[in-house]
Amino acid sequence: MEDALFDALVGLDLHDPDDAKPPGYSAAGRTDAGVSALAQTVAFEAPAWCGPSALNGGLPGPVRAWAAADVPPDFHATHDALQRTYVYHLHAPRRPKRGPAVDDDRLLAAATGLAGEHDFHNLTPDVEGSARDLSIDVARDGDFLVVTVSAGGFPRHLVRRLVTLLADVGTGERDLEAVGRVLDSEPLPGHEGIEPAPAYPLVLASVEYDVDFEVDPDAVEATRAVFEADRVEHLTRSRVAGLVADGL
């Protein structure tokens, strides 16, 4: 996303490609490759005419701007964020065609144990900044469990590794006591290490600031059209993949 944004700003003559970053640039955070974002927030010096619609003219299809705000010169998109919320869509049908089913109650119990203020050093490769106060909500939506995690900030891989742990407890691959071992001050032994869940079901859903953003209706409609077309393509691909799988 960042490279696409910088290229667009070069095209608008708002960024010198010889410079590492545009003037005043900061971002709410870096997401892993494959993670989607509804509310990634960036800041940079821009003239009044450079609103979302103008910016979208130089951006590739899946990277869209849809709201903007004027902020003080010392605003920093990373440090001034009050809270970030990620949503993970975990495919967990009650009667899966393959693999073990997830016990919702076990998974919810694991989520309860992980919520609150803990040091999550066993769920991130970061060696600093792993202590966080997490809010975790889990809700069933058909064949999916929607895991919503909020905090002031997140170390790398925390949400994806947390989801792996929840899923493992839910299927019985790990016992509920694994939550306590993960939150213990001692590093997990290698054979108990927790790998990140796949990136594509994860969405950066919101980043909250003490800022009033103005939504650009035209940019919203254009963005919606891009992702509605994307949804139709993926639904069609899913249907075809299902027909092939069921026909074997």
- pLDDT for 139-172, tens place per residue? 999 999 999 999 999 999 999 999 999 999 999 9
Residue 179: what residue type?
Answer: V
Closest CA to 117 of 187, 190, 183: 183
171: enclosing H helix or E strand: helix 158-171
Residues 138 and 176 in one domain: yes
87 and 180 share one domain: yes
Banded model confidence at residue 121, pLDDT cuts 50, 70, 90: very high
Indicate whether 236 belongs to any domain.
yes
135 and 70 in one domain?
no
How far apart are alpha carbons 202 and 193 in whole angstroms? Answer: 21
Residues 99 and 188 in one domain: yes
Six token digits for residue 177: 């006591």
* Among 50, 67, 66, CA closest to 8: 50
Tokens of 157: 């891989």
Structural domain tally of the chain? 2
Angle in degrees, 0-180, between the axes of helices 104-114 and 158-171, rounded to the nearest 10: 140
Q: What pLDDT score was predicted for residue 191?
A: 83
Angle of CA points 29, 35, 41, to nearest 5° = 35
Q: Is the domain of 139 the same as that of 228?
A: no
* Rounded Cα–Cα distance for residues 241 and 168 (Å): 26
Domain residue limits at 38: 2-79+216-246
Q: Please provide residue 46's backbone torsions phi and psi, each rounded to the nearest 5 degrees.
A: -150, 145
Residues 177, 113 share a domain? yes
In a domain, 209, yes or no: no
Answer yes or no: is 92 within a domain: yes
Beta bridge partners of 149: 86, 136
Examine the residue annotation and report whether 184 is marked as an active-site residue of this protein: no
Which strand (E) or helix (H) includes residue 215?
Answer: strand 214-215
Q: Is residue 103 domain-shared with residue 159, that is, in the same domain? A: yes
Interior CA angle at 224 toward 153 and 156, to 5°?
A: 20
Prediction pTM value: 0.93
Question: Are residues 88 and 189 both part of a single domain?
Answer: yes
pLDDT class of 190 with cuts at 50, 70, 90: confident
Residue 210 lies in a domain: no
Q: Which of 3, 16, 19, 32 is catalytic?
A: 32
State the Cα–Cα distance between residues 118 and 184, nearest whole angstrom.
9
Residue type for position 165:
L
Is residue 23 domain-resident? yes
